Structure 1
Amino acid sequence: MRKWLWCVLLLSALPGLRGVCHGAGFKVSEQGAKAMGMGNAFAAQADDPSALYFNPAGIAFLPGIQVNLGALGIMVPQTEFQGTTPLSGTPPLDTGTAVVTERSRRDVVIAPNFYASYTLEGLPLSFGLGINAIFPLSKSWDDSSVFRNQVQIASIKPINFQPTVAYRFDALNLGVAAGIDITYAQVSLQRSLYSPAVTPTAPAPPFGAYELGSLGLDGTATDLGYNLGFLWKPRRALSFGLAYRSKITLDIRGEANLLATTPTGLGAIGLADSALFPYTRARASSDASTSITLPDTLDLAVAWRPTERLTLEFDATRTGWSSFERLEFHFDSPEFASFNHQPELRNWRDVWSYKFGGQYEVNPRLALRAGYSFDDSPVPDHTVDPLLPDADRHSFSVGAGIANTLGTLDLAYMWVHFVDRTVHNQDMATLRGANGVFRSDAYLLAANLNLKF
């Protein structure tokens, strides 16, 4: 009888597990300014310490000690929606048919990164450490938005540690690497709650959108994965890269809090709804847990140097988003008992992205770069919503490297254009989804300083 609230809680968890949508699904692929300037086509070059993310085998060819410090700034897209939602109109009864135009809040996410590599003298053995944020998130809609029952504020603050070892087979000009991914994430969200019935425990007409109160959720997870890399340079002008990053299952544990502000809200948590309205409020809390399997990725890459100054690269990346099949929560509190073990299917699909990039060395101190990439969205039409208004996207980038004897300063800019996403998944029984069009664009700036010792 409370399936509507269960769906709300499931949907509320999703923003904490997606990124800012600049790789397939919610993966952020922009983890180094040099690579970003070439559209992230870098797995076959992998010639600075950021190779630890793109292809860890690259550190096998880096001499001495190198340290790469940087940051990615993401101007989170101001998503625009035009159409109808379960709350568009005048709740509680006149909803679901009024056409509205809604815009999410703008925000800026800063995601720092750190990479270091060390190659032993006299031995073809290298060690590396990468620290980055692969899944940062900041997404919010106004408190009065027609999407307020699906998301108001959602954020994730992740950090990933990657210790790596690499070995170089000089006779073959081949580098191999293996590493561990240790991912820690803090998740938080806030949203309003609505019910399609005035008495949630015994639904009956009139059906509409009845306010319950507000929901907050905070949780954390720490889990492990692994990565492998291969980089082969059969000729001076040609190199091939292959990199694999395993699935990671995030076991998220935290606390859910529901503040009931109406008689309908009191009934939702099993309390008598006969108290005088609007003077009574009640709070329900519960430990909450769930598991999400983040996808594995496979990168295939080739780089070619037709001249001494020009380098061209093409990468293809497969992301195994079919691992994201469903969401299922467990709540410890008896007040949330009826919400347990009710899975919601997501049914994402595996997708490919394609990246083209190039670099031209004007002189030993200046290199110019440009790139393009296309990402296919893994999200099926029936699960697109304001939490992840994902779409196929085209990304265009430019960049430059400024070098001296101590190191290189890399700068890059990227414009991400999301193809308009039309959806027809509005469901008045659960008060979720929408009928209309989502439009988004995003802008990224990156800077990395690479020092050699």
Structure 2
Amino acid sequence: MKSKILALLGGALLSGTAMAGGYQVNLASQRQIGMGHTGTGIQTGTSSIFFNPGAMSYLRENGVTLGASAINSKIAFRALEATTSTAEADNDFGTPFQVYAVYGINEKLKVGLGVYTPFGSGVRWGDEWRGRYNLNEIDLKAVFFQPTISYQITDKIGVGAGLVIATGAVNLQRVLPLQNQDGTEGGIELDGGANTAFGFNAGIYFQPTEKFSLGLSYRSKVDLEVEDGDVNFSNIPDIAKPLFPDGTTFSAELPMPSTISLGIGYRPSERLTLAADVSRVGWSAYEKLRFDFSQAVGRPAPEGLVSESDRNYEDAMIYRIGGEYMATDALAVRAGAYYDQTPVQDGYLTPETPDADSRGLSVGLGYTISNFVIDASFLYINKKERTDTAELSGSTAGTFKSVAYIPGLGVTYKF
């Protein structure tokens, strides 16, 4: 019994939905974050494993990169019918990370391994806000391992592909509309680890001249399945305990969407690199939120074994621009911006994904010391204020507003 549970399991990767559309997190490289997270159409170093495996074959040196970002996001909610009814998500600092290693077999053939965190969530609304019966806390983690190979067919064309091996875990908590004699409300917690799932990442890189370059990459959809996850109940009144049996488990499926990206790079001088990317994310794969429980929950058996609601996400576009200027031989200065469309339709806004079109602005620095490169980045994300008047699919009618502040640091060793 498997199910698609994105709205209840979904959220944005490590802190609400302030990272990217839906529950995707685009924080795969500190250098590229500084350039608006562009990278499909240029040579990005070891992070080509993620952005475009075809460009990895152009690396002149072996390298190992370690990096992470510290996410601090704020999500505010205001109820429609009562302007004094407000809430703010208490979100932890999320730390999406990236590890890349590339080794050259010869001048044309390169192999590498990437480990990164493209999806997840960490939202804490508390147990007193008006939407607590939909969600009061979620913690979602997903980790991708990607062994990769890349080959330079000619001086102008490189191709590459990598196998994605994905795993993850989820913990979700919400309040139940039940009260003990002391007035304490009941609660439910879902906790489970995902089975190993597989996908792929492939790309082609084309550099017709020293100044121009093009790239096309595709990251496939990956379905993470949770089987026999634990369902724990708390503060259930004695009279209702037969409806919430101990030992209940759940199964679910978390689809992580595909992404196809087209990028272009332009170097008007040896010191300046400009880049632009456009991506289409296949969010339409997320149609329904469904839980399969091993026992009836909240209703007499045999009813209540399945909980399902529509989500009906739509495919969405992301537009990015960025640049890097070598101020000195050792110091690089970067800046970028992007616009990310939301996949969430009107009427389907939820506390886990109170999503809206977002604008991102970034800056970054890179400094080379001997064989080491230190990269620092800062990303500011501002999602449009969005009001939902419907109570569809578990949504909470009201106005949501999200912002995020994301510093990051990375170190690369070349040899």
Counterpart for residue 256 of structure 1:
231
How much does 1:258 deviate? Answer: 2.3
Q: 1:131 to 1:83 in 2, by over 3 A?
A: same
1:39 pairs with 36, 41, 47, which one? Answer: 36
Counterpart for residue 310 of structure 1:
272
Which is worse superposed, 31-40 or 11-20?
11-20
How much does 1:331 deviate? Answer: 1.7
Amino acid at match of 2:76: E
1:114 pairs with 99, 109, 121, which one? Answer: 99
Counterpart for residue 375 of structure 1:
340
Q: RMSD of the TM alignment (CA)?
A: 2.3
Q: 1:403 to 1:192 in 2, by over 3 A?
A: same
The answer to whether the 8 Å contact 2:11/2:22 transfers is no
Amino acid at match of 2:126: D
Q: Distance in 2 between matches of 1:71 and 1:17?
A: 13
Q: Distance in 1 between matches of 2:405 and 2:23?
A: 16
Counterpart for residue 273 of structure 1:
none
Q: Distance in 2 between matches of 1:152 and 1:146?
A: 10
1:362 pairs with 327, 334, 353, which one? Answer: 327
Counterpart for residue 74 of structure 2:
78
Q: Distance in 2 between matches of 1:338 and 1:69?
A: 50
Q: 1:264 to 1:361 in 2, by over 3 A?
A: farther
Post-superposition CA distance 1:429-448 (Å, at most 9, x none) = x8x42332111110111111
SS at match of 2:247: strand
Q: 1:13 to 1:360 in 2, by over 3 A?
A: closer
Post-superposition CA distance 1:291-340 (Å, at most 9, x none) = 23221100100000112211111100100000001122222225574223
Q: Distance in 1 between matches of 2:36 and 2:114?
A: 20
TM-score (norm 1): 0.83
Q: 1:386 to 1:286 in 2, by over 3 A?
A: same
Map residues 378-397 of structure 1 onto 2, 5 A cutoff: 378-397=343-362
Amino acid at match of 1:217: L
Q: Distance in 1 between matches of 2:304 and 2:60?
A: 56
Higher-Rg member (1/2): 1
1:319 pairs with 261, 281, 303, which one? Answer: 281
How much does 1:252 deviate? Answer: 1.2
Counterpart for residue 65 of structure 1:
62
- Answering whether residue 149 of structure 2 is matched by residue 165 of structure 1, we say yes
Q: Distance in 2 between matches of 1:18 and 1:320?
A: 20
Map residues 19-418 of structure 1 onto 2, 5 A cutoff: 20-21=16-17, 22-75=19-72, 77-84=73-80, 99-121=84-106, 123-171=107-155, 173-194=156-177, 213-221=186-194, 222-253=196-227, 254-259=229-234, 261-262=236-237, 265-266=240-241, 268-269=243-244, 284-334=246-296, 337-418=302-383
- Answering whether residue 410 of structure 2 is matched by residue 448 of structure 1, we say yes
Q: 1:69 to 1:127 in 2, by over 3 A?
A: same
How much does 1:11 deviate? Answer: 5.5
The answer to whether the 8 Å contact 2:63/2:103 transfers is yes
Q: Distance in 1 between matches of 2:7 and 2:369?
A: 50
Structure 1 gaps of 5+ residues are 1-8, 85-95, 199-209, 270-282
Q: Distance in 1 between matches of 2:232 and 2:291?
A: 14
Q: Distance in 2 between matches of 1:265 and 1:192?
A: 15
TM-score (norm 2): 0.91
Q: Distance in 1 between matches of 2:240 and 2:291?
A: 21
Q: 1:19 to 1:58 in 2, by over 3 A?
A: farther
The answer to whether the 8 Å contact 2:15/2:93 transfers is no
SS at match of 1:49: helix
Q: Distance in 1 between matches of 2:269 and 2:253?
A: 50
- Percent of residue pairs identical: 30
Which is worse superposed, 329-338 or 51-60?
329-338
How much does 1:263 deviate? Answer: 5.9
How much does 1:425 deviate? Answer: 1.6
Q: 1:11 to 1:130 in 2, by over 3 A?
A: closer
Structure 2 gaps of 5+ residues are none
The answer to whether the 8 Å contact 2:10/2:22 transfers is no
